[in-house]
Structure 1
Amino acid sequence: MTLERTAAPRPTWRQRVRDPGWGLIFVLPMLVLFVIFRFVPSLGAVGMSFTDYRLSGEFTFIGAENYRRLIEDDLFFDSLRVTLLYALMYVPLTLVVSLGTATMLHHVVRGRGLFRGLLFLPYVTSFVMAGIIWIWIYQSDGLINGALERIGLGPVAFLTGNQAMVLGSLAIVSVWKSFGYSMLILLAGLKNIPEDLMEAATLDGAGAWAKFRRITLPLLRPVIFFVLVIETIVAFQVFDTIYVMTGGGPARASYGLVYMLYDQGFKFFDFGYAATIGVMLFLVVLVISLVQRYVLDRENT
């Protein structure tokens, strides 16, 4: 007796239109909000970058004059350098802390939910509150310097020292504030690694470090690169921590691109030039994200 496989009937054109239509109806409210509050303002900022737009609402079309001015502005390149240095400190440190805490949580048997909530708690606090807390920790009679004085090392100027000290101190605050998000993403990636591979490696005599290096890291590579892209974007958008803790100082040692955008737009009310800085910031982040995406695709293939 032979069984004949009957082909499934092809959906009619009404079904092909109706099914995606229902999905569009469900996402339509969020799509409308995205277009109104994200897409349209972004296009408006691009258009504003070609104008001399003032607080009164009057504007004059000046073409690429703002971009020429930006290329000749030494402050822009100094701010870009500060932002790059900050990203080079913040992104690797965030990845290491997030991966370390995710790995520990993955092996915790009892109280996993409690520890996860405690580690994620800084992420849900505001940057302003985090900045105020860490100003007290970093100040000359604060928690860290108090401990250093007891062992005879003296006070350290965390927020008023050289550029490396200031940016490193700010990066530590941002890592403490933000690592919980990446930790949860990496923890989800760890849970998707088959336990059979770990058991087989244990039977073959592999230690914890060998299993982590040979199994965990290769299988976690797509998640790690996703975290790198997200945290790089976060690093280039840093503003709250700088605004609360240093105000761009000392001597503009922490004067990043977004802080420069804020000054031009809301201190000097030069909205056209501020929009130009925002467009250039978008292009810089886009190029870095594309490079990371290229590396991700190459590693996966």
Structure 2
Amino acid sequence: MRQRLRDPMTGLLFVLPMLVLFLVFRFVPILGAGGMSLTDLNLGGEWNFVGVGNYARLLDDPKFWDSLRITLVYVAIYVPLTVLVALGTALLLNAVVFLRGLFRGMLFLPYVTSFVLAGVIWRWIYEFDGMINGLLGKLDLGPVGFLEEASLVLPALAVVSVWKGFGYSMLILLAGLKAIPASYLEAATVDGAGPWQRFRRITLPLLKPALFFVVVIETINAFQTFDTIYVMTGGGPARASYTLIYGLYDQGFKFSNLGYAATIGVVLFALVFVVSLIQRRLLDRGNA
């Protein structure tokens, strides 16, 4: 009995520091945000208990529903685009033999670049006298207001975020590709399967766990996007890029409504949690 208890206790001691950090910096703030959402706390430290008043106010707030719609549209654009780019680059890197490490480092470099720096660079690229409009002008297609037109701003922001963040997902998918036994692909080749058949029948099914992990991580990142929007558009034009996170920032630090901002954060947390559970269920179904 002592031996049975000794091994789990030893393992627990090893993970205890990280467990404490997780509880202090992740779990406790979640509980704190939930408590704040039940008050009208402001930056001055004054507060009163309002119960579910903030949630009732949120449900009646048309700006909240607009920002939720914008957030969902952004997620619908960003996640598939990121997964496709990450999967495509991972497949290319998996096929490369010469200088693979160099190419992998070059493709991963944008991921370690500051979001603020990336936003400043891409804002210049998107400007009317920027690089893209310069090329369009030579083709007589005229300047395009990528960040000035409501119909283009979300795709333009999604492209920046994809360029900035696909490197991490690329490495995850590349590791998944390396875990696929080469004998499976060789046997399929001997049986006469072409590249598309090998990808569809062997590579994609075996890559599904890594692929769904990437989808979940990138979905969470999409819901939390703030830096790029703050630097490039400030929620504009005409609130066309005003997401839930940007609304949370405005309520908390611009209007000093920390309680209401915490309410938005709790709703966003619940939304991401539900979406993650749905994706997890799809993952389990795919592995069944």
Normalising by structure 1, we get a TM-score of 0.94
Structure 1 residue ranges without an equivalent (≥5): 1-12
Match of 1:275 in 2: 262
**Corresponding position: 1:171 with 2:158:** yes
List aligned pairs for 1:126-275, cutoff 5 A: 126-162=114-150, 164-275=151-262
- 2:154 partner amino acid: L
- 2:161 partner amino acid: S
How many corresponding residue pairs? 288
Normalising by structure 2, we get a TM-score of 0.98
Query: What is the aligned counterpart of 1:96 among 59, 84, 109?
Result: 84
**1:31 Cα offset (Å):** 1.7
List aligned pairs for 1:12-31, cutoff 5 A: 13-31=1-19
Distance across 2 between alignment mates of 1:54 and 1:176: 37
Residue by residue, what CA displacement relative to the aligned partner does 1:14-40 show, whole Å, maximum 9, x if unpaired?
222222222222222222222222211
Query: Match of 2:142, SS?
Result: coil
Query: Match of 2:40, SS?
Result: strand
Match of 1:81 in 2: 69
Which has the greater radius of gyration? 1
Match of 2:272 in 1: 285
Identity %: 68
Distance across 2 between alignment mates of 1:290 and 1:29: 28
Deviates more, 1:55-64 or 1:185-194: 55-64
Residue by residue, what CA displacement relative to the aligned partner does 1:45-89 show, whole Å, maximum 9, x if unpaired?
100100111222121111100000000000001000000000000
Distance across 2 between alignment mates of 1:191 and 1:300: 19
- 1:171 partner amino acid: A
List aligned pairs for 1:93-132, cutoff 5 A: 93-132=81-120
**Stretches of 4+ aligned residues off by more than 4 angstroms:** none
- 2:14 partner amino acid: F
**1:287 Cα offset (Å):** 1.1
Structure 2 residue ranges without an equivalent (≥5): none
Distance across 2 between alignment mates of 1:287 and 1:33: 25
